[in-house]
Copies of this chain bind each other. A is one copy, B any other.
Amino acid sequence: MKAAVIGGGVIGGGWAARFLLNGWDVDVFDPDPEAARKLDEVLANARGALPMLYERALPAEGQLRLVGTVAEAVSGADYIQESVPERLDLKHRVLAEVEAAAPDAPIGSSTSGFKPSELRTGMTNPGRLMVAHPFNPVYLLPLVELVSVGGDAGAADRVKDMLISVGMRPLVVRAEIDAHLADRFLEAVWREALWLIKDDIATTEEIDEAIRLGFGLRWAQMGLFETYRVAGGEGGMTHFVEQFGPALAWPWTKLMDVPELTPELAKKIGDQSDAQSGALSIRELEALRDRNLVAILRALKGEGSGAGQVLADHDATLPQPMDASVPMVTVARVVPSDWTDYNGHMNESRYGQVFSDAADGVMVHIGAGPDYIAGGLSYFTVETSIKYLVETHAGEAIRVETRVLIGEGKKLKLAHEMKRASDGEVLATCEQFLIHVSLETRSSCNPNTNVQAAVEALAAAHR
């Protein structure tokens, strides 16, 4: 697959990274003389963060080219993403160039404000144009607002599937309005925040604390309405809304009026932000943001909630490393940043996790995976012995090769080697002894015939 990315700033670069790291070829056009450097910076951030979200290896990176013309970028593209600055005349000019060179491919616009009908004015094949509005950092956040109202439904469906295939969650917005959905909320909060700063009620730092230590933590997982549904309790949501109603008439906000954004107010915000966050450079803040996002997204993945479920779904589409060769590759992944300790290397407990995952890979191969467990039978690990040979660091690609040493009756003994993917150096070894049990009686028993045969075949092949 090939994506064309028109405009290579923070958003365009984020799109390029998202496609590239999911195995697409990407051609980027951006006339900015600094485009190559800016693209490299976004890509470096993305390469350092996105693969850490997954328990499996992403596909091999596609080919990236920074090309000299829009025509070159869109030629042969399966999908074209426009991320040029928010000026309608500029977007129209770029879309005309796109149409001249690529008459059919679907086009998504990253616009945060314009409606598809505004963008389509003057187009020859307007139906294939839709809004595909992402959120920064595009390579980590799954949300894309997809607004295709009045366009070609087939094109919208294809784009939806393509975005899902690169780990995103297209939210189909059923009506075209200025700023779609999320940015309307951001705008509302932004106005309120400007008043609070202008009137010296709070600083940028105090406002950020008020968000990130309270409702921000709720919104990361449930959003607005489900949070209120829980808060409302047994009375039900309709009752809760009715109770909430009177507050709307209270003088709680200044939103009836638009604060004038004077140079003085802009400077005040800039100064407060410097005081709050100036100790870290933008690059350091980006790295902090991405580490936090990796950690939060991985936490939600464990719970199967919100963005975590999007991630889990995408993980499940990635190829299982497991094959029946000798030795079997049972794990292929990148070491995430939340696995490292104060010595700067992978925490010893995470070796246990990698080898536990390797055993899960064997379980799936021998037919003793989740379905088998749901049927009341499982292997339990009785003893694990790990040798730590070489330090392992966040971001390193690793694989585990596994041999079955014993596979007789209820006994299963596995030997794993964890290797650095780049050069095959052995980083750690592990022996695991497992016993087959009945989950009902909670005592040991033989596996079923098919599992037993699969175990014996592996043991024979690995002998």
Residue numbers of A with Cβ under 8 A of B are 10, 113, 135-136, 141-143, 145, 169, 171, 173-175, 177-179, 181-194, 196, 199-202, 204-227, 229-231, 233-234, 236-239, 241-242, 244-245, 247-253, 255-256, 258-259, 261, 263, 265-267, 269-274, 276-277, 282, 285-286, 288-289, 291-293, 295-300, 302-303, 305-307, 310, 338, 342-343, 347-356, 370, 373, 378, 380-388, 439
Contact partners of A136 in chain B: CB under 8 A: 231
User: From residue A385, how far is it (CB to closest CB) to chain B in Å?
Assistant: 4
Residue of A182, A214, A307, A352 with most partner-chain B CB within 10 A? A214
Contact partners of A383 in chain B: CB under 8 A: 385-388
Distance between Cα atoms of A277 and B183 in the complex (Å): 24
A258 to B248, Cβ gap below 8 A? yes
The contact of A296 among B277, B300, B381, by CB within 8 Å, is: B300
B223 to A208, Cβ gap below 8 A? yes
Given A169-B213, A188-B188, A348-B356, 15 more A-B residue pairs with CB atoms under 8 Å apart are A175-B201, A179-B252, A181-B201, A181-B206, A181-B207, A187-B248, A212-B221, A217-B220, A229-B277, A237-B273, A241-B265, A348-B381, A349-B354, A352-B353, A381-B388
Distance between Cα atoms of A382 and B348 in the complex (Å): 9
Distance between Cα atoms of A245 and B263 in the complex (Å): 10
A348 to B352, Cβ gap below 8 A? yes
Top 4 A-B residue pairs of the complex, sorted by shortest distance between their CB atoms: A208-B223, A238-B270, A349-B353, A352-B352
Q: With A244-B190, A252-B184, A351-B352 given, is the CB distance from A302 to B221 under 8 Å?
A: no
> Could you list some 6 contacts between A and B, CB below 8 A?
A204-B226, A212-B306, A229-B285, A237-B274, A349-B350, A382-B387
The contact of A299 among B10, B212, B295, B342, by CB within 8 Å, is: B295
Q: With A212-B220, A370-B342 given, is the CB distance from A285 to B187 under 8 Å?
A: no
| Nearest-neighbor residue (CB-CB) of A248 within chain B | B258
Contact partners of A384 in chain B: CB under 8 A: 348, 352, 384-386, 388
B224 to A219, Cβ gap below 8 A? no
A292 to B181, Cβ gap below 8 A? no
The contact of A192 among B188, B201, B234, B382, by CB within 8 Å, is: B188
Contact partners of A277 in chain B: CB under 8 A: 225-226, 229
Contact partners of A145 in chain B: CB under 8 A: 210
Distance between Cα atoms of A266 and B228 in the complex (Å): 13
Q: With A282-B233, A356-B349 given, is the CB distance from A210 to B171 under 8 Å?
A: yes
Contact partners of A196 in chain B: CB under 8 A: 181, 184
Contact partners of A191 in chain B: CB under 8 A: 188, 248, 253, 255
Distance between Cα atoms of A261 and B306 in the complex (Å): 29
User: From residue A437, how far is it (CB to closest CB) to chain B in Å?
Assistant: 10
Contact partners of A173 in chain B: CB under 8 A: 201-202, 206
A302 to B143, Cβ gap below 8 A? no
| Nearest-neighbor residue (CB-CB) of A259 within chain B | B248
A378 to B343, Cβ gap below 8 A? yes
User: From residue A209, how far is it (CB to closest CB) to chain B in Å?
Assistant: 5
